[in-house]
Amino acid sequence: MIRQDGPGNRLDVDAMVEAAISAGEAAIEIQSVDDVVALPPRSPFRIGIRRFMKHRLALISLIYLALLGLMAVFAPIVAPANPNAVDLTSLRSAPTSDHLLGTDSAGRDVLSRIIFGARVSLTVGTAAAVSAAGLGTLLGLIAGFTRGWVDTIIMRLVDIFLSFPSLIVILLLVAILGPSVTTIVIVIAFFEWPTACRIVRQMTLALREHDFVLAARASGSSNFRIMRRHILSGVVSPLTVVTTLLSAQAILLEAALSFLGLGVRPPQASWGGMLNEAQSITVLERFPWLWLPPGIAIASTVLAINFIGDGLRDAFDPRQTR
Amino acid sequence: MLAYLVRRIIIAFPVLLGILALTFILVQMLPGDPATVLLTPEEMMGDPGLIERRRAELGLDRPLPVQYVAWLGELAKGNLGTSFHRNVPVTEMLAPRVMPTLILSGTGMVIALLIGVPVGVAAALRQNTKFDYASGVGSMVAVSVPTFFQGLIAIYVFSIWLGWLPSGGMRTLGIPASGIDLLKHLILPASVLSAVLMGPYVRYTRQSLLDVLRLDHVTTAKAKGVPRWGVVVKHALRNSLIPLTTVLAVQIPALLAGTVIIEYVFTWPGMGRLVIEGINSRDYPVILAVVMITAVLVLFFNFIADVTAAILDPRIRL
């Protein structure tokens, strides 16, 4: 075959290659009659989305999380009171019609603090997970694509970082750098990237051996274009799963930091920080409304995210057997 | 096998050096100048050259790579540094804390294995039944509820409400130490710790057994008329537990993180509590020592897990 140089030609080959991949993968992905009868699937990603919708727990979790997100964004409108307004006449008062979840040791409305606390958890969860996944993807792509000594160095770095008990190192770094949402996000991202890196590298190694990468190379695509157009698109599905699970991890880490008094600084409301008060047996025993609601808030949010991650994994990975 | 061992060691060695280098970088990040830590203000005021001499004495004027090598030499001699807070060697503070942590994390791991593996096996054998879904959702809940919240609930229910078990500590003051007393104090923290680990054990056991049950030799065994339990126990279970050795090793950082929080909630006098105390009193050398020890332990257990897997499954050696 005579190779013709020229932008038109290259685009054609690329388009053909794309078509071949999606056709090929769609053929593999089609598993039930439903998939065939419904609209012709356009991409594995689409098929994955459709399969995800059938996962009931994951779907309920997604709705729950969306509502939570809306509540966090519109917290000033939704919250019945100012989360930092101190009412010295009702300290630790039990739930009443005025304060649906009671008040804390400074007379602040617990429900309002929970609504505002959602902002911290969701911000940390999203920002830390996206940064960690971004860093991991970048290093994973480089490692899998260049191979050789660069790969060796990056993979040894992964081993090194995975050996550290992240909670303790993060505690230490936050103690040194001073607690704030930004510090927490950066430190979590810095110690949680290796999972994403490993998976992206694995996928890259597998994908780069495919004929379509060879075809793209033959038609003159640059390394950068191959990485962006052919490899990254193949990595998207597993990466979505990893990022989801990482955000659950990040929310738990932030909650633990705040519980230990090293998270978001008071008076800003955060769920883990609200539980900090329950360290005294008196509070634990006599004022359950101070610690049960924020604990349930953390648990249900993390559970919802994990269910979504689970649903995504089932949706994108046909080998899984659930 | 020997070639495999050598290859594993060649991989593990740079990782060990990397762990130590990263720890050294963290040491450098610490606030406070070690040269002035042990001096009184009067001494410093009286002699302006003292700090400089002190730095030279401690070797702090040398280039960083030289300091790194010197620091490695001290480590090799078992010197983990001196506590800022109490001015005693870190090793002295660590020594009494090791045993309680080992008891707690060991018990937690055993409980998690004793419950997690059978549940995982049962879930795989009853795939897509109510039991399977319930165990899946259950293990998801166990990893989603924050460890400290599980601890608080356990204390609330079993210590405050029912009054069955003590809420913290390792022994009752005023009565002679006994095994039964220790056990009473151990049940709650160890159970909460096992909940953290159990979820992954259930998941991996189930997935791994399902994978093995689909292999040809299992089909052959079934076709030959081997009874169902024989197929599972003799032909499938043993193979499916190989990946679990890796899972055990991979879970160790999670185990340690769980231990830190649980020791804090249950006032258990172990290394995890020492870390939190160290953070509250800004006693960084103590924390660093724990971080480094655990990282090295993780590396070591990963190595053991790889070697065990290679012994059990000859294909891995290739």
Question: A-chain residues within 8 Å CB-CB of B147?
Answer: 256
pLDDT computed for residue A131 by the predictor: 94
Q: Tell me what the mean pLDDT of segment B281-304 comes to.
A: 81
**Of residues A156, A255, A321, nearest to B146 (C-beta):** A255
Amino acid letter, A52: F
A145 has pLDDT over 50: yes
A212: number of Cβ within 10 Å: 19
pLDDT computed for residue B93 by the predictor: 83
- Which residue did the predictor score with more confidence, A321 or A293? A293
Q: What average pLDDT is seen over chain A?
A: 78
Query: Could A259 and B148 be called an inter-chain contact, meaning their C-beta atoms sit closer than 8 Å?
Result: yes
Distance from the B52 Cα atom to the nearest Cα atom in chain A, whole angstroms? 25
Distance from the B160 Cα atom to the nearest Cα atom in chain A, whole angstroms? 7
Query: How big is the A-B interface in CB pairs under 8 Å?
Result: 136
Kind and range of the H or E run holding B311: helix B284-312
C-alpha dihedral sign at B23, B28, B34, B35: positive
Report CA-CA distances (Å) from A266 to A83, A125, A271, A273: 11, 19, 11, 8
Query: Could B294 and A168 be called an inter-chain contact, meaning their C-beta atoms sit closer than 8 Å?
Result: yes
DSSP per position, A36-49: HHSSPP--HHHHHH
B256 has pLDDT over 70: yes
Cis previous bond, B96, omega within 30:
no
Residue A167 CA to residue B64 CA, distance in Å, equals 28
A46 neighbors A309 (Cβ within 8 angstroms): no
Q: By CA distance, what is B160's nearest residue in A? A: A285
A161 neighbors A194 (Cβ within 8 angstroms): yes
The band of A11, judged by pLDDT with boundaries at 50, 70 and 90, is: very low
Residue A121, helix vs strand vs coil: helix
B38: number of Cβ within 10 Å: 12
The band of A18, judged by pLDDT with boundaries at 50, 70 and 90, is: very low
**Of residues B29, B143, B210, nearest to A321 (C-beta):** B210
pLDDT tens-digit map of B88-99: 888 888 888 888
Between helix A288-316 and helix B147-154 the angle, nearest 10°, is 130
A198: number of Cβ within 10 Å: 21
Residue B149 CA to residue A291 CA, distance in Å, equals 9
Compute the half-sphere exposure of residue A205: CA atoms within 13 Å on the CB side of its CA.
13
B281 Cβ contact partners less than 8 Å away, ≥ 6 residues apart: B85
B183 has pLDDT over 60: yes
Residue A320, Cα to own-chain centre: how many angstroms? 21
Residue B74, helix vs strand vs coil: helix
**Of residues A164, A248, A262, nearest to B291 (C-beta):** A164
State whether residue A252 sits within 8 Å of chain B by CB: yes
Question: B-chain residues within 8 Å CB-CB of A173?
Answer: 26
**Of residues A164, A285, A303, nearest to B140 (C-beta):** A303
Residue B296, Cα to own-chain centre: how many angstroms? 11
Query: Could B146 and A157 be called an inter-chain contact, meaning their C-beta atoms sit closer than 8 Å?
Result: no
* Residue keyed to tokens 């399902």: B210
Give the A window 270-299 contacts with B, CB below 8 Å. Answer: 272, 275, 278-279, 281, 284-285, 288, 291, 295, 298-299
B196 neighbors B142 (Cβ within 8 angstroms): yes
Q: By CA distance, what is B20's nearest residue in A? A: A160
Distance from the B45 Cα atom to the nearest Cα atom in chain A, whole angstroms? 28
* Residue keyed to tokens 């070797």: B59
State whether residue A302 sits within 8 Å of chain B by CB: yes
Distance from the B47 Cα atom to the nearest Cα atom in chain A, whole angstroms? 30
Query: Could B152 and A260 be called an inter-chain contact, meaning their C-beta atoms sit closer than 8 Å?
Result: no
Q: By CA distance, what is A247's nearest residue in B? A: B144
Query: Could A299 and B144 be called an inter-chain contact, meaning their C-beta atoms sit closer than 8 Å?
Result: yes
What is the number of residues in chain B? 318
| Token code pair at residue B148 | 């400290």
Q: Tell me what the mean pLDDT of segment B247-255 comes to.
A: 80
Q: By CA distance, what is A249's nearest residue in B? A: B144
Interface mutation target, options B8, B10, B15, chain A, most CBs of A under 10 Å: B15
Distance from the B33 Cα atom to the nearest Cα atom in chain A, whole angstroms? 14
Residue B204 CA to residue B219 CA, distance in Å, equals 22
* Highest mean pLDDT out of A147-151, B43-47, B49-53: A147-151
pLDDT tens-digit map of B127-172: 888 888 888 888 889 889 999 999 999 888 888 888 787 777 777 7
Residue B74 CA to residue B71 CA, distance in Å, equals 5
A113 Cβ contact partners less than 8 Å away, ≥ 6 residues apart: A83, A104, A269, A274, A294
**Of residues A165, A255, A321, nearest to B257 (C-beta):** A165
B204 neighbors B243 (Cβ within 8 angstroms): yes
CA-based nearest residue to A186, from A169, A198, A199: A169
Residue B35 CA to residue A135 CA, distance in Å, equals 37
* Residue keyed to tokens 């962006």: A228
Residue B270 CA to residue B276 CA, distance in Å, equals 10
For residue A279, with 0-12 CB atoms within 10 Å meaning exposed, 13-18 middle and 19 or more buried, which class applies? Answer: middle
Question: B-chain residues within 8 Å CB-CB of A162?
Answer: 253, 298
Query: Could B127 and A272 be called an inter-chain contact, meaning their C-beta atoms sit closer than 8 Å?
Result: no
A272: number of Cβ within 10 Å: 30
Query: Could A168 and B149 be called an inter-chain contact, meaning their C-beta atoms sit closer than 8 Å?
Result: no
Query: Could A307 and B140 be called an inter-chain contact, meaning their C-beta atoms sit closer than 8 Å?
Result: yes
Burial B162-188 (b: 16+ CB within 10 A, else e): eeebbbbebeeeeeeeeeeeeeebbbb
Q: By CA distance, what is A164's nearest residue in B? A: B295
Residue A313 CA to residue A319 CA, distance in Å, equals 10
For residue A6, with 0-12 CB atoms within 10 Å meaning exposed, 13-18 middle and 19 or more buried, which class applies? Answer: exposed
CA-based nearest residue to A204, from A157, A266, A142: A142
State whether residue A153 sits within 8 Å of chain B by CB: no
Determine what percent of chain B is predicted with pLDDT higher than 70.
90
A19 neighbors A40 (Cβ within 8 angstroms): no
Beta strands in chain B (DSSP E): none
Lowest mean pLDDT, pick from A267-276, B34-43, B131-140: B34-43
State whether residue A78 sits within 8 Å of chain B by CB: no
Interface mutation target, options A151, A155, A159, A292, chain B, most CBs of B under 10 Å: A159
Residue B52 CA to residue B35 CA, distance in Å, equals 8
A162 neighbors A194 (Cβ within 8 angstroms): yes
* Residue keyed to tokens 């762990």: B19
The whole-model pTM stands at: 0.82
Question: B-chain residues within 8 Å CB-CB of A299?
Answer: 141, 144-146, 149
Q: Tell me what the mean pLDDT of segment B184-212 comes to.
A: 87
Amino acid letter, A102: G
Residue A109, helix vs strand vs coil: strand
* Residue keyed to tokens 């897990």: B305
Q: Tell me what the mean pLDDT of segment B35-44 comes to.
A: 64
What is the number of residues in chain A? 322
Q: By CA distance, what is B18's nearest residue in A? A: A160
Distance from the B296 Cα atom to the nearest Cα atom in chain A, whole angstroms? 7
- Which residue did the predictor score with more confidence, B276 or B83? B276
Residue B244 CA to residue B251 CA, distance in Å, equals 10
Q: By CA distance, what is B10's nearest residue in A? A: A156
The band of A43, judged by pLDDT with boundaries at 50, 70 and 90, is: low
State whether residue A156 sits within 8 Å of chain B by CB: yes
B205 neighbors B124 (Cβ within 8 angstroms): yes
